[in-house]
Structure 1
Amino acid sequence: MKKINLILGSALIAVTLVSCKSESEQQAEKTVGAYEKYVDSVINVAVADAKANWESIEVAYNQKTAEAEAALAELKDKAAAEARLEKSKAKYADLKSKLEAEAQAAKEAQAASTPPNKKQLLRDAYFGAGKIGEDMNFSWVNKDNILKVYNDFYNEFDKNKDTYSREDFDEIKAMYEALDAHKNTVEKEGLTSKDNRKIAELKFKFAPKFKWERMGAKAEENQKAKE
């Protein structure tokens, strides 16, 4: 009798294990299927709607991708499931690439139709494209490159000083003063005496030249106003 009970008990455990495994596989299959359906739903949504809700779409996609990849471990035919995931990933990647290309094209078109910001053009000319914005943040200038920054600034001014308007001179003055203010910080970070002397020489040459040219621009502006 005990032997029969033992056999029945073992059989029951085996059936239970098989049943549990079957349930986990079924759930994994549902997870993979849900992932495929989600990607297809995103692919079929209107492009305008996809663009408007892309951030939430991306969050949901990443979550469902993680869930589907985790579910692979529960499937017997893992290779087939992986192939299904890769197919859906490729669909999503194609859509994302298309939307990003359209967004970039729209951005470039807008930039082309927008009049250039003259102040930003000056900042780019003096310090390099995109390095300085309206906030005049010179945190990228340090003891190793500050001499070059001053030297480039002086050369740019000397090369184009005859082309500037009074407004240009005002912006150049603001940039120069902001750079000078940051120099105080750089000095505390270990600016060498040699570089400091060279910067002083550049400042000595720049100051009177800037003052003279700015006065000329103001006089020219006043003269035009009288005409």
Structure 2
Amino acid sequence: MKNAAKLIVLLTLCFTIISCKSEAEKKVEIVTNNYVRFVDSVTSRNKADAKANWNKIEKAFEKKTIELNFKMDNLEDSKNLGVKMDSATKKYKSFKQALFGFAIESDTSLFIE
């Protein structure tokens, strides 16, 4: 009986450790979601307002991109979050191109595996 109880405790502990996300993964997920929300808020703005405040928007975008890339570099497996980031980046670049009417470099992937 003692061995069965120890086994159950050990299995429960292992399952808990394996199933929980690490603190770093949670932080990167939060930063990624903030990045996606930022891009969504920028692309849903009035075009005239976006043009008028573009320098601030661009600086904030660069800051969020650098922060997200830094956080992702510390994770081993961040493929799913990289896909979210790439999608948001493409959306941002398309909005920028529509606003200013010039071609943007074709490689919009900021995520490096």
TM-score by shorter chain over 0.5: yes
Aligned Cα root-mean-square deviation (Å)? 2.1
- Distance in 1 separating the partners of 2:95 and 2:73: 28
- Distance in 2 separating the partners of 1:73 and 1:26: 14
- Distance in 1 separating the partners of 2:75 and 2:38: 20
Q: Which residue of 1 aligns with 2:54?
A: 54
- Distance in 1 separating the partners of 2:100 and 2:49: 14
- Per-residue Cα deviation, 1:96-130 (whole angstroms, up to 9, x for no partner): 1111118xxxxxxxxxxxxxxxxxxxxxxxxxxxx
- Distance in 2 separating the partners of 1:25 and 1:33: 12
Q: Which residue of 2 aligns with 1:37?
A: 37
Q: Which residue of 1 aligns with 2:27?
A: 27
- Distance in 1 separating the partners of 2:74 and 2:84: 15
- Per-residue Cα deviation, 1:44-80 (whole angstroms, up to 9, x for no partner): 1111110110000000000001111112134454111
Of structures 1 and 2, the larger Rg is shown by: 1
Question: Where do 5+ consecutive residues of structure 2 fail to align?
Answer: 1-16, 103-113
Paired amino acid for 2:29: E
Q: Please give the residue correspondences for 1:1-150 in structure 2 after superposition, counting only pairs within 5 Å.
A: 22-101=22-101
Q: Secondary structure at the match of 1:59?
A: helix
TM-score, length-scaled by structure 2? 0.67
Task: With a CA cutoff of 8 Å and minimum separation of 6, indicate the structure with the bigger relative contact order.
Answer: 2
- Per-residue Cα deviation, 1:116-145 (whole angstroms, up to 9, x for no partner): xxxxxxxxxxxxxxxxxxxxxxxxxxxxxx
Q: Secondary structure at the match of 1:49?
A: helix
Q: Secondary structure at the match of 2:101?
A: helix
Paired amino acid for 1:49: D
**Where is the helix percentage greater, Structure 1 or Structure 2?**
1
- Per-residue Cα deviation, 1:20-53 (whole angstroms, up to 9, x for no partner): x822221111011100000000011111110110
Count of equivalent residues: 84
1:29–1:75: 8 Å Cα contact kept in structure 2? no
CA 46–52 in structure 1, closer or farther in 2 if over 3 Å, else same: same
- Distance in 2 separating the partners of 1:25 and 1:80: 11
Paired amino acid for 2:101: A
TM-score, length-scaled by structure 1? 0.34
- Distance in 2 separating the partners of 1:69 and 1:54: 22
Q: Secondary structure at the match of 2:22?
A: helix
Q: Please give the residue correspondences for 1:189-200 in structure 2 after superposition, counting only pairs within 5 Å.
A: none
Moved over 4 A (4+): none
